[in-house]
Structure 1
Amino acid sequence: MHESKIADKSTPYWWESAPVMPLQSQPLARMLDVAIVGAGYAGLSAGLALAREGRSVAAFDAMNPGEGASSRNGGMTSGSIRPDYVTITRRFGERKAMEVEAEGKVARDFLYDFISSERLECDFQLVGQFKGAIGFEQYEKMARGAEALAKKLGIEAYAVPYAEQRNYVGTDFYRGGTVRMDIGGLHPAKFHAELLRVALASGVTVHSSTSVISIERDGSVFRVKTSAGTVQARQVLVCTNGYTDGAVPFLRRRLVPVRSRMIATEELAPELMARLMPKQMMMIEGRQLGFYYRPSPDGKRILLGGRDSSRTGDPEAPKLYLRQGLVSLFPELANVRLSHSWFGNVAMNRHMLPRIFEKDGIVYATGFCGSGVVWGPWIGMRAAHKLMGNNERARTTFDFAPPPAIPFYRGNPWFLPVMIGSYRIQDRIAQWRA
């Protein structure tokens, strides 16, 4: 099937109202206080915090700023952590597990305050999130989890039984679900554009289409070799994630880039949107490879995403997979056209937790595992304060040892199709049992 028959455009829907743009070329500084690798959410947030404390800062991005995941994601402010409470407790102890849960709440509140105080125009709406259960057994487990969130952290979270499900989402696919009201949605490309605006206004220099080639220690400073020349910096902060390359081999061996693909429908009739998305919530699922979906900020389309096991090119199969997923949820959309289909890289690590760590004097802020809208700004700013020695403002439970390296991995995720295929089999079994 030809691309035009699946989706009209292969660029992100978000770029229609907030296109990513190259920046005017800037001369390289001979000496910087801090050189930042990456100008996405984390890099710009860190740069903003540093510049406002009087540091000379430059961020280097191999693409246009924001062209990676920062302008391609679903725009959900979930701050989701993939390992559940039990798994984190088993690996790191119960104290760490509770700290992770508690910091997610603080990080979301920080993001909402930041958007408000900086007057960032990014279509943010605190609409809540519904999570669909695959089977009644999973529903019972999720309901207990929602109750625990409400009791332990004061989050407005509650269970939605199957009989009440259509008040939240117009499908019978799930067997009930849960709601969290501390999660909302924004326009990710607008959010990045606004973050870039305030960072530049605060004195951060951003070099677009400027790859970092290598970082070397030279006495008390670092020599950062870029495609535009070499600069010296007293400190270096690496904020790459799903687009990490050979310039930082230590990090590259620890992050696996995974494609996340999204589709957008054409504009739907208001009465249809009201039936399918009655509360305009963000939507996720209890499957291993569940879909995530939401209304567009103007409430006229449905945007749906999921993991993509392809590794090269722009094949048709992943687009068809998402379209079939959309129709399995909403059969009445079987003949609806798709206006956009696009993909971007998220980064996974063996612990599946965001991370700040230091290696050979370089500080890293990375590993957002598909939840960078919340964790990018939060971790980026904590890392900035770590560089400045502001210990209280730098405090985070995610500042600990780097994630383990992945055996036999040097940047080519050859194992992804097999791994994602196994997850899909698990989801089919779970759905069959449901």
Structure 2
Amino acid sequence: MNAAKVAEKNTPYWWEAAPVKPLPKRPLAKTLDVAIIGAGYAGLSAGLALAREGRSVAAFDAMNPGEGASSRNGGVTSGTIRPDYATITRRFGEAKAMAIEAEGKIAREFLYDFIRTEGLDCDFRLVGSFKGALGYNQYETMARNAETLVKRLGIDAYAVPYAEQHNFIGTDFYRGGAVRTDIGGLHPAKFHAELLRVALAAGVTVHSHTPVTNIEKDGDGFRVTTSAGTVRARQVLVCTNGYTDGANPYLRRRLVPVRARIIATEPLPPEVMARLMPKRMTIGENRQLGFYYRPTPDGSRILLGGRDSSRVGDPAEPTLRLLSGLAEIFPELAKVGLSHSWYGNVAMNRDMIPRIFEKDGVVYATGFCGSGVVWAPWVGMRAAHKLLGHAEQARSAFDFRPPAAVPFYNGNPWFMPAVIKGYGLQDKIAWWKTRR
């Protein structure tokens, strides 16, 4: 049995309104100012900034533009950084930790302003986010963290006690939680389609189904070999992430593709949606293998996402796990039908922090660790300004050394099933502690 047997379709729900598709073939330029590898959020954002500064730019994508994570994600504008503040401080120092945390606020504000000023029709709503606590100890930690966000960064955040939980989510599964009002939701495939539209209008040439097979130094520039031929570029920017292939072995050894999966319910009655998700917020939780979920932009269904432990094919088990998780949170949806179940790759690195870095003259913008809706456009734009020599606009806390290579890894994440099982065990222990 595969996922299509559980859900009606195994393609992203987002593709119904904004299908990904190949672009008309364009002649390959002999020379370019900048060659960009990847035409997702990061690559197109960078290309837009470069083209508007008068640079000749072409972006090369091995698939349809946006066919990877840019149109497969949950559309939550969280800008989450996986390590907590204490962990980042321990690894990199308090100044770096503070700069990274502060940049999240700036990056979200940048995204919202970008959507507004460019007139991007992508169903964006600043609905806020609720994170559920799995126990009262976790709730107390969340309440303290909310106070810290208010004091340190001026972010509107507050705790929600268990007695008030139903004002935000129609479940008794959590023991209260916390709200942030600076997080919203958008339609990720529409966002990419609109980003592609403005990039093309600015003069960026985008080549679909044109993988780059080699990048080599050539005098004061680079020779970029693609499936359509070779082009000479003065500068190269690599913006691949969860779909980085063997053509860039240096980056591939530093990014681990991890499958994530999202399910979409069949349309639910309006009164059910109003009861289960009364404020239409995006929802998250603190489990290693936890779920994130939200209403669709039209408010008719629930989308729920999480880790997918499979590595090949499209088996049914990961879909069934998400369906079971949905029923655990909302018991009345135990027998709900699914319209869609799909997966996509997110790219993790050893630091679990997005990155801008340079290696042998090539600039990289990558490593979004499952939060690319905010980080990919932001990091892509900062990398573009780095190429342009705009020191102030390029400044970013994410511009530092490359992520370390993963030992004994060369593109095949053979260790991920064991990692997923380990996370599951941690969740069981944590769950037991909350219910003692």
Shorter-chain-normalised TM-score: which range? over 0.9
Deviations 1:354-406 (A, max 9, x none): 00000000000000000000000000000000001000000000000001100
1:71 matched to 2:71 = yes
Distance 1:5 1:358 in 2: 45
What displacement does 1:288 show? 1.2
Aligned partners of 2:290, 2:95: CA distance in 1, in Å? Answer: 29
Q: What's the CA shift for 1:306?
A: 0.3
Counterpart mapping for 1:176-191 below 5 A? 176-191=176-191
Secondary structure in structure 1 of the residue aligned to 2:232: strand
For the residue of structure 1 that corresponds to 2:8, the secondary structure is coil
Partners of 1:100 and 1:5 lie apart in 2 by 43
Once the two structures are superposed, the pairs formed by residues 183-332 of structure 1 within 5 Å of their partners are 183-332=183-332
Q: 3-state DSSP class of the match of 1:8?
A: strand
SS of equivalent residue, structure 2 residue 257:
strand
Alignment of structure 1 residues 86-235 onto 2, 5 Å: 86-235=86-235
- The residue number in structure 2 matching 1:364 is 364
Structure 2: distance between partners of 1:5 and 1:398: 42
The letter for the 1-side match of 2:367 is: G
Q: In structure 1, give the amino acid aligned to 2:429.
A: I
Give the Cα separation in 2 of the matches to 1:123 and 1:294. Answer: 13
Report the alpha carbon displacement of residue 2 of structure 1 after superposing the two structures with TM.
5.8
Q: Aligned partners of 1:122, 1:16: CA distance in 2, in Å?
A: 14
* Displacement after TM superposition at 1:128 (Å): 0.2
Mapped pair 1:376 → 2:376: yes
State the one-letter code of the partner of 2:141.
K
Partner Cα distance (1:404, 1:139) in 2 = 34
The 3-state SS of whatever aligns with 1:232 is strand
Deviation at 1:325, TM superposition (A): 0.5
Unaligned 5+ runs, structure 1: none
Kindly report which structure 2 residues correspond to 1:348-359, keeping only aligned pairs within 5 A, or say none: 348-359=348-359
- Give the Cα–Cα distance (whole angstroms) in 1 for the partners of residues 289 and 187 of structure 2: 23
Q: Which moved more, 1:158-167 or 1:339-348?
A: 158-167
Residues 51-70 of structure 1 correspond to what in structure 2 (within 5 A)? 51-70=51-70
- CA distance in structure 1 between the partners assigned to 2:336 and 2:127 by the alignment: 25
Give me the whole-angstrom Cα distance separating, in 1, the residues matched to 2:4 and 2:12. 15
Q: Which amino acid aligns with 1:256?
A: V
What letter matches 2:120 in structure 1?
A: L
Identity %: 76
Amino acid at match of 1:312: V
How far apart, CA to CA, are the structure 2 residues paired with 1:158 and 1:290? 21
Q: Is the 8 A contact 2:212 2:247 kept in 1?
A: yes
* TM-score, scaled to structure 1: 0.99
Q: Which runs of 4+ in 1 moved over 2 A?
A: 1-5
Partners of 1:419 and 1:15 lie apart in 2 by 31
* TM alignment of 1:392-403, pairs within 5 A: 392-403=392-403
Once residues 351 and 367 of structure 2 are traced to their aligned partners in structure 1, the CA distance between those partners, rounded to angstroms, is 9
Q: 1:233 deviation in Å? A: 0.2
Moved more, 424-433 or 99-108: 424-433
Change (3 A) 1:251 1:152: same
Partner amino acid for 2:191? F
- Give ranges in structure 2 of 5+ residues lacking alignment: none
SS in 2 for 1:374: helix
**Partner Cα separation in structure 2 for residue 29 and residue 395 of structure 1:** 31
Q: Which amino acid aligns with 2:368?
A: F
The CA RMSD over aligned residues, in Å, is 0.7
C-alpha contact 2:4 2:341 (8 A) present in aligned 1: no
Mapping 1:7-46, distance limit 5 Å = 7-46=7-46
Q: Which string of whole-angstrom CA distances, capped at 9 and with x for unpartnered residues, describes residues 71-104 of structure 1?
A: 0000000000010001000000111111111000
Q: Tell me how far apart the structure 1 counterparts of residues 248 and 46 of structure 2 sit (CA, whole Å).
A: 18
Q: Describe the SS at the equivalent of 2:108.
A: helix
CA distance in 1, matches of 2:143, 2:212: 47
Q: 1:266-290 CA distances to partner (integer Å, 9 max, x unpaired)?
A: 0000000001001000011011121
Name the CA distance, whole Å, in 2 between partners of 1:109 and 1:8: 37
The Cα of 1:58 is off from its aligned counterpart by: 0.2
Q: Which amino acid aligns with 1:388?
A: L
The amino acid of 2:218's aligned partner reads: D
